[in-house]
Structure 1
Amino acid sequence: MSRAYAIRQGALSDPAVLALLQAHLDEMHRWSPACKVHAMPAERLRAPDVTFYAAWDDEELAAVGALKELSPTRGELKSMRAAPAYRGKGAGRAMLDHLLAEARARGYEWVGLETGRAEAFAPAVRLYAANGFAECENFGEYVSDDFSLCMARTL
């Protein structure tokens, strides 16, 4: 039986959220060269072109994610991360579903993301692929190479 997570916009001042975002950045630096780390710090997630969400299991933080507007018809997933205690428990999937629903509500026709190619990123790549994402051509400032993988799907 899957859990129901309460997904709410904001919470970028919550200590649990800030800690998870910092852990996310730290792990990205562990698996990729600094020039290939595209994860956003909390300050950047507060910008007007980004909408940040946190998924909660009662009072426990389960996952975070954001949707960045690239154009009126295109968006990008950012800062997707399940808390360690919630990996494999549907929190990432719940956040992905929420972000895709928000993208559709905004009228986006395309959603992209950049992730890593190292084995540590394999669970994320499998989640995205199972939800209609496929490798795509580079977009924005990203370059697909031995470290970075660009993925996208149409809505």
Structure 2
Amino acid sequence: MIQNKTIEIIPMEARDIANAVGLISQAMNQDEGKWASETMHFHFKCAEQELDDGHDYYLWWEHDEVKGIVGLHQYAWGPPENVWLAWFAVSPAEQGKGYGRALLDEVEKKARQRGFRKFFVETYAHPDFDKAIRFYQKYGFTEHGRIANYLPDGSQMIVLGKSLSSGRRLE
């Protein structure tokens, strides 16, 4: 576990898509890598046209290698105080060392700076995501809802959330 160490996250650029997708595929699974590729290509195509798709992605680089990705996503049709965690992954070799927590700390700072008060995560009731769910719960996220039969295999979507307002619990 890292102690009192900060991680510098820098905004992702279009040229970083392959590295980010590779990390997501390793840390999660190939299907998630495919979805990451599609959403990231869409994000940067929007940016080329000066359109805001509501996503911001940040990378943690170490020794010229992407070790982590984290992002924010605000739905244009959602309440302005709400933000969602966008792609989030840590290199399998770095997991369990506190880097995931450091990445979330950094993206939470960015969310607070932008005035967001509620932070949500979409995850799934599937064995590939059990470790992630435990991580989010340890980090203070609580369950706020489920959508049955969301994934092609019938797995449920789970929505977790937490307050970004100091000392407040998200109800």
Q: In which range does the TM-score fall when normalised by the shorter chain? A: 0.7 to 0.9
Q: Which amino acid aligns with 2:124?
A: G
What RMSD, in angstroms, separates the aligned Cα atoms of the two structures?
2.6
2:19 matches 1:16: yes
Inter-partner Cα distance in structure 1 for 2:6 and 2:66: 13
Conserved? CA contact 1:51–1:67, under 8 Å: yes
* Partner SS state of residue 137, structure 1: strand
User: Is residue 2:157 matched to residue 1:148?
Assistant: yes
Q: Which residue of 2 aligns with 1:114?
A: 122
Greater Cα radius of gyration, structure 1 or 2 = 2
**Residue 61 (structure 2) aligns with:** 56
SS in 1 for 2:106: helix
Q: Quick one: which amino acid aligns to residue 13 of structure 1?
A: R
> Whole-Å Cα distance in 1 between the matches of residues 95 and 14 of structure 2?
21
Q: Distance in 2 between matches of 1:144 and 1:103?
A: 29
Give the superposition deviation at 1:27: 4.4
Alignment partners' CA distance in 2, 1:130 and 1:18: 26
| Match of residue 32 from structure 2 | 28
Q: How many residues align?
A: 144
Deviation, structure 1 residue 133? 0.6
1:87 Cα deviation from its structure 2 partner? 1.7
**Residue deviations 1:88-113 (CA, integer Å, cap 9, x gap):** 22222221111111111111111111
Give me the whole-angstrom Cα distance separating, in 2, the residues matched to 1:124 and 1:69: 21
Change (3 A) 1:5 1:112: same
> Once the 2 structures are TM-superposed, how far is the Cα of residue 43 of structure 1 from its aligned partner?
1.5
Offset, 1:16: 2.1
- Cα–Cα, structure 1 residues 113 and 68, in superposed 2: closer, same or farther, change >3 Å? same
Letter in 1 for 2:42: R
Instruction: Give the equivalent residue in structure 2 for 1:34.
Output: none
Gaps of 5+ in 2: 47-51, 150-154, 165-171
The 1:123/1:114 distance shift into structure 2, 3 A limit, reads: same
The answer to which of 41-50 and 118-127 deviates more is 41-50
How much has 1:77 moved relative to structure 2? 0.3
Aligned in 2, Cα 1:144/1:12: closer, same or farther, shift over 3 Å? Answer: farther
Structure (1 or 2) with the greater strand fraction: 1
Deviations 1:17-58 (A, max 9, x none): 2422455562438xxxxxxx9756321343521110001224
Distance in 2 (CA, whole Å) between partners of 1:27 and 1:38 is 6
Distance 2:158 2:35 in 1: 11
Q: Percent identity?
A: 24
Partner amino acid, structure 1, of 2:141: F
